[in-house]
Amino acid sequence: MIDNSIFREYDIRGIFNENLTQQVTFKIGYLLGQKIQSNGERNVIIGHDARVHSLKLYEWLKDGLCASGIEVYFIGLVPTPVAYFATYNTIDSISSANSIMITGSHNPPQYNGFKITLDKKPFYGSAIRELGKELEKLSVPIVSSARKIISIDALSAYKNYLIDHFKSLKNFPYKIALDYGNGVGAVGMEDILNALNIKHHSLFAQPDGNFPAHHPDPSEEKNLIDIKNHMSKNNIKIGLAFDGDADRIALLSTNHSYKGDELAILFAKQIGKDGTKPVIIGEVKCSQIMYDEINKIGQSVMYKTGHSNLKVKLKELDAHLAAEMSGHLFFNDRYFGFDDAIYAGLRALELFLDYTPEDIEMLIESLPEVYSTPEEKIITTEDEKFTIIERLQEILKNPPSEFPKIIDMICIDGIRVIFEDGWGLVRASNTTPVLVTRFEAKNKENMGKYKNCLLGLIEKIKK
């Protein structure tokens, strides 16, 4: 019996040997091999993160791919962006537009999965769900492949590219702190920092799939306690924290942790300093302040949450940058348009060539003041979450008389309700059985009012 919950919106992810079994993983490899061949191609690049079962999943996946007739190129233990990078560059005389990264990202240690790129595009959404349906019908024997696998050194090519790309950071004037959370970020970043002579203190740099230091998710403040304490004790003014597979980042300075939408503002100014009018894509959870500030110097675009959605939209619009609140940052300006925390971290350091850490903090503090809630979740079920959104949208077309005045509703991903003094968001998570909410207003009273009114409607719908 196949557990279809592993076929998620943006990737395949499950629990090793529970729903990610040898049979399931082999069949995933076999079917992906068929899809690669249907695109007229015959090879794929595979890398893996530090999780203790990643190499075993590699063996099973590789066997399935080889059984379908695909040539596998192995790049070993690498950050996820190295697998993306390899699809855009010829490495060791080998080119491939396809990659599979074996990673559980920021999930707990028992999880693992696959981030898939076919023809340089994310394999996601309906394509992943259809793969799950095909897998249920597939009858194919598990065969261990004796084919010799070719290893290529994508990691060195990636590091050399970034060392050359960021020559301006040579002898960087500030010492920095980095928290790798025992993920794979240090595998890429440390040699780059040393080559550029950037003084740094590194925390939890040794890859360890058990994540003994803390959970590898820098979007949660509790996971930033160690780096904040280290920065304070050592008078370090700039910090970078990575998630488990190094495709998400957090930037910290002495008095501030920068959210994804704040970073988008800073990078928009960086891109626009030569007169370019930056086109920046944000997700529905981003602050209205971000959209307003970017529109002063360029063009902002609101779009769906999710790294796959934003990568596709970025290419469609040929925008300069896309940003997610969680720290996924996608640079199409000077780069290839995929989410890369190592590249984004180095771009962040470039900010401090033009401004001091104190200047950057003042720039953010000078933005119009708003009050906002963090991302909050309402537990529901997979079946119910989208139904609630549909019913809520219908009610809001003719809301109760006591409901705050609605200026507009944006329904590209859930419902973002625009009020006179702020907004509220309710969207169905694409990865878990929850509704995700966020609220923002110019004062606490209205923020609370918008929150209470929308949550009140949800409670009535759930009854």
Among all residues, which ones are annotated catalytic? 13, 105, 328
Backbone torsion region of residue 382, taken as left when φ is above 0, otherwise alpha when ψ lies between -120 and 50, otherwise beta: alpha
Yes or no: say if 421 and 442 are a contact pair by the CB < 8 Å rule.
yes
Between the CA of residue 265 and those of 129, 207, 288, 293, 309, what are the distances in Å? 35, 32, 11, 7, 20
* Helix, strand, or coil (residue 388): helix
Find where tokens 């058990």 sit: 210
Q: d(Cα 78, Cα 58) in Å, to the nearest integer?
A: 13
Backbone φ and ψ for 279, nearest 5 degrees, come out as: -105, 115
Yes or no: say if 231 and 255 are a contact pair by the CB < 8 Å rule.
no
Between the CA of residue 421 and those of 113, 281, 284, 316, 371, what are the distances in Å? 42, 23, 17, 32, 11
**One-letter amino acid for residue 349 of the chain:** L
Measured in whole angstroms, the distance separating CA 181 from the mean position of its chain's CA atoms is 16
Exposure letters 254-283 (e unless 16+ CB within 10 A, then b): eeebbbbbbbbbbbbbbbbeeeeebbbbbb
Residues 6+ apart with CB under 8 A from 409: 393, 396, 415, 416, 417, 418
Strands 43-48 and 99-102, sheet pairing: parallel
Q: d(Cα 145, Cα 289) in Å, to the nearest integer?
A: 54
Q: d(Cα 277, Cα 274) in Å, to the nearest integer?
A: 9
Terminal CA-to-CA distance of the chain, rounded, Å? 33
Yes or no: say if 422 and 367 are a contact pair by the CB < 8 Å rule.
no
